[in-house]
Structures are given as C-alpha cells and as structure tokens.
Amino acid sequence: MLDPSEFRNLVSGRSLGAWATTSRGLLRAAEIPYTLAVNWRNRRYDRGRAATHRVSVPVVSVGNLTLGGTGKTPMVKWLARWFGERGVRVAIVSRGYGASAGKHNDEALELSQSLPAVPHVQNPDRVAAATRAIDEFGCQLVVLDDGFQHRRLARDLDIVLLDALEPFGYDHVFPRGTLREPVAGLRRAHVVCLSRSDVISAAERDAIRHRVAEIAPNTIWCELIHAASRLINSTGESQPLEGLAGQRVAAFCGIGNPAGFRHTLGATHCEIAAWRAFPDHHRYSSADLASLSQMINNSGATMAVCTQKDLVKVSEPNLGEVPLWAVAIEMQFQAGQDAFENALNVIRAPSHSSSDGHDNRVL
C-alpha cells in the first residue's frame, strides 16, 4: 500500500518507469466509473431528483475539491470565532470520518481543544446532526465541516478550499488523481479560498484564480495563509513558536497533505532531522509509537513535533527521550477578507443572549 507521499508522486507523474506508467493506466481505468457515479449523483441534486433538507438556521459549509488536507479545520475555527464574537451561537456539524464507535475523530478532538464552548455534533446523517444541534444546543448557525460533497443538507454559503500545492488534484478524479469530483463542481461554490497561498508565486496564484473564474465566475475569491502561531503539548502547556528556531527536530504527521505540514515547519527555521508521514486519520498503535521513539532517538533530535490533529491521538508529553510538541495553526487572510466577511454578514443569524438555559458543552 502506498503512503500519501508515494501516492502523490505516482498520480502527479513524478514517479517514472514501467511500473509507474502501468499503475497510472490502471488507476485511469478505475477513475472512469468513479467519475460517472459522482456526476450521476450531482445531476440528481442539480435537477431536484434527490432531495435537499433545509433546517431552521443558516448553514455555512466548509469543504474542498480534493482528498486530504486543505486547511478546513483552521477555517472552521475562524468561522466559529468570527460568528461567536458577533453574538451568534454556533455549532459544528460533521460526519465523524475515522472515528471509532462512540468516540470523536481527530478533527473533532482538535476543535474541542481549541473551541471548548462550541458544541460539535458528529453523525453521518448531517441533517439529523444539524437538527440535534438546533434542538439541544439552541444554535443559531451551523458550520458544516467537510460538507461540499454532502448535498442532502441545504446550505446558505458554500466555502471551498483549494490547496496551493495541488489545487486541482492533478486534473484527475480519485483514484487516478486526488479530486473528489471533477473541477466543474466549483460552480456550486459561493466562495473559493486558496489555502497556503504564500507557498507559490503571485503569477501562480493568478493562474489558479483565472482558472477558477472561468469555471465559476460569480464566486468570491480569497487567499489564505495557514501560519504557525505557537507550540502546545498534551498537558495544555504552550510556548512561543520561536522555541523551534535552530532546533534539531523529528517530525511526523497523519494528515491528508503531509507536504503542507513540512512547509510550515520549514518556515520556523528548525532543522528537520527525521520525518515520517502516516495516512490521513491514522490511529497510532503502541508499535507506531515505539517505532517513532526509535526514529527520534536515532536522529539526535532535541524535540519531536507533530500537528494538533496528531497530538490529540498520541497524548504523550514525551516521545522517545525528548518532549513532544504540536504546532498550532491559525488562518490569516492574504486577499479577499472584506468580500468574504460581507458574505458572512448577509447570512448572519440575529444575536441572542445565551441565558436561555441551553447547554453549550462540547458533545
């Protein structure tokens, strides 16, 4: 089985040779029925043959066009805080992909750590989850996490994130590429945000923006930076990000786009002495932790670093013989913030006091 980096090398064309060429041909054959199925499903919703269900409060969806990490969680955090600061009681709704029975998945654990007062309801039936968030928690607005391809729940604003490192999934639908659906799906979006926009040149950003405008000319365009803000550990301690500068670190992650995390570390001026990428939503076994500890000790690293999404699953203050820290990420706008906030203001629910007895605890 290919790890995330090997898969991307294959589908991007970076892997060469007879094996790679043959593999891409087989993946292309598998791509065709998958694409037909996705297009058939979308047409059913487009033509009203599949029903959408509207709940009694506004719904803002955050999603992406490709597999893996595009920075949805930092956007969800930003939205929850933005609406909360304006007196709107927000709840987060998600499918709970990768969660074991009766437990939250890694994104939910990370969001709970960052937004302890915001309810988060996980259920594969997002309509039922949104209804529960309204009835039990009195929420006035739902943020639907990873909702672009989930069309059963009607939404008032569809935000789609494109990762600057692979915005169009190598122009192939999975498994030949990393697209969840053909790029024409962007026509449904109200807002398109280019995440990690600082990793590419202005000319490259303009080229991506131009292509999006050709597909979806009426969408709002934004450019985002996912900037490291501080270091945190499993005990709740934090320290300034400057603590990484000059350090020899061993890094690991189990996220959709490991290259994004590696880029983030590069900007902190640390030395990456050892590196390991696991599949997205990876559950760390005792064998994994033992292997990581050996890698860390052999590297001579002075500290180990991972993402917040990984830290909530490892939950250890030390790994190997060194402390383990996660890099906390905050979203910042590089372009388009005013237009984006204007769109949010249009759908903002009226402000009410939270003194009505509703419980705002995280589920």
Query: By the 8 A CB rule, do 215 and 192 touch?
Result: no
Eight-class DSSP state of 149: T
What are the CA-CA distances from residue 48 to residues 7, 45, 131 (Å)? 36, 5, 22
What residue ranges define each of the domains in the chain, with the CATH number in brackets?
A: 59-226+332-347 (3.40.50.300), 228-330 (3.40.50)
Query: How far apart are the C-alpha atoms of 196 and 264, rounded to whole Å?
Result: 9
pLDDT, position 362: 35
Termini Cα distance of the chain:
35
Minimum mean pLDDT among 109-118, 138-147, 247-256, 349-358: which range?
349-358
Q: Is the pLDDT of residue 363 over 80?
A: no
Query: By the 8 A CB rule, do 249 and 215 touch?
Result: no
Q: Is the pLDDT of residue 349 over 60?
A: no
Query: How far apart are the C-alpha atoms of 159 and 63, rounded to whole Å?
Result: 6
How many residues does this entry show for the chain?
A: 363
Query: What number is the average pLDDT over the span 304-333?
Result: 91
pTM: 0.84
pLDDT, position 226: 86
pLDDT, position 354: 39
Query: How far apart are the C-alpha atoms of 322 and 216, rounded to whole Å?
Result: 49
Query: How far apart are the C-alpha atoms of 221 and 337, rounded to whole Å?
Result: 9
179-216 per-position pLDDT tens digit = 999 999 999 999 999 999 998 999 999 999 999 999 99
Q: Is the pLDDT of residue 3 over 90?
A: no
What are the CA-CA distances from residue 145 to residues 42, 73, 244, 306 (Å)? 19, 8, 31, 22
pLDDT, position 341: 97
Query: How far apart are the C-alpha atoms of 262 and 257, rounded to whole Å?
Result: 9
Query: By the 8 A CB rule, do 143 and 79 touch?
Result: yes
Query: By the 8 A CB rule, do 54 and 345 touch?
Result: no
